[in-house]
Amino acid sequence: MSEILLYEGKSKVVYEGPDSESCIMRYKDTATAFNGEKKEDLSGKGKLNSSISNLIFGYLMKNGVETHLIKIIDDTSALVKKAEIIMVEVIIRNVAAGSFSKKYGIAEGTALKNTIVEFSLKSDQLGDPMINESQITAIGIASADELAQMTKLALGINDLLCALFVKTGIKLIDFKLEFGRYGGKIILCDEISPDSCRFWDADTNKKLDKDVFRRDLGDVLEGYRDVLGRLQSVLL
């Protein structure tokens, strides 16, 4: 089968699907951080993220969340709905970490009095700047109604993910979601993996996510394998 490339990103490639309503998403082994400045191939990362994300999407779909996932093709590829990606990243924070800790001077690991919902503009060129709701509607990236839907969906997904991860002995610190328009609805797209979430071991606070790569903390994929194993033990 000849593959027609639609888009190549930092950690995934998207090919045309068998019909105009779908496409094929393939996970790559490339790890990047700091907007692509740090880059390395980690053999097996694509397969791990694909397995983790497919398990999580399957769980969310079972719990009524509409996603782009149609069918798993192989270890690194899935058939997905060809949604029109909304060009904002939705970030949910349960515990202070990362850019939030740095920007506001709040120690990593500090509990938050409420869940934070943040948006950033999906633009590698601009370094994904944070953007607020009136800015998003002003420049026409999404309507107020779409933003309200994405916020509600993201908070619902957070509740489901927290309920799942507590069973695995993992704290869900924060994560990033992407949504798309498909058939008049807003659906969950992209991936949910240790590349896009912060996962800390509940007992030791050991990092099991991409911060191990960002901060050179050791064997990156050891944490990813641990996350997959724990998810398999509660979901399969």
Site residues, ligand UDP (CB under 6 A)? 89, 91, 97-100, 128, 174-176, 196-198, 210
The rounded distance, in Å, linking the Cα atoms of 112 and 93 is: 8
Q: Return the structure tokens found at 121.
A: 């503009």
Minimum CB distance to ligand UDP smaller for 37 or for 74: 37
- Non-local (6+) Cβ contacts of 49 within 8 A are 11, 27, 191, 193, 194, 195, 224
Q: Where are the alpha helices (H) located in the chain, listed in sequence order?
A: 45-62, 98-104, 133-138, 144-166, 211-214, 220-235
Minimum CB distance to ligand UDP smaller for 17 or for 221: 221
**Please, what is the minimum distance in Å from the beta carbon of residue 86 to ligand UDP?**
15
Q: What are phi and psi of 50, to 5 degrees?
A: -60, -45
**Please, what is the minimum distance in Å from the beta carbon of residue 72 to ligand UDP?**
22
The rounded distance, in Å, linking the Cα atoms of 72 and 69 is: 8
Minimum CB distance to ligand UDP smaller for 17 or for 142: 142
Which value, in Å, is the radius of gyration of the alpha carbons in the chain? 17
Minimum CB distance to ligand UDP smaller for 17 or for 54: 54
**Please, what is the minimum distance in Å from the beta carbon of residue 144 to ligand UDP?**
23
**Please, what is the minimum distance in Å from the beta carbon of residue 60 to ligand UDP?**
17
Minimum CB distance to ligand UDP smaller for 82 or for 210: 210
Q: Return the structure tokens found at 145.
A: 């109604």
Minimum CB distance to ligand UDP smaller for 142 or for 191: 191
Q: Report yes or no: 177 and 92 within 8 Å, Cβ to Cβ.
A: yes
- Non-local (6+) Cβ contacts of 142 within 8 A are 86, 88, 136, 150
**Please, what is the minimum distance in Å from the beta carbon of residue 7 to ligand UDP?**
16
Report which residue type is found at 16: E
The residue at minimum Cβ distance from ligand UDP is 98
**Please, what is the minimum distance in Å from the beta carbon of residue 136 to ligand UDP?**
16
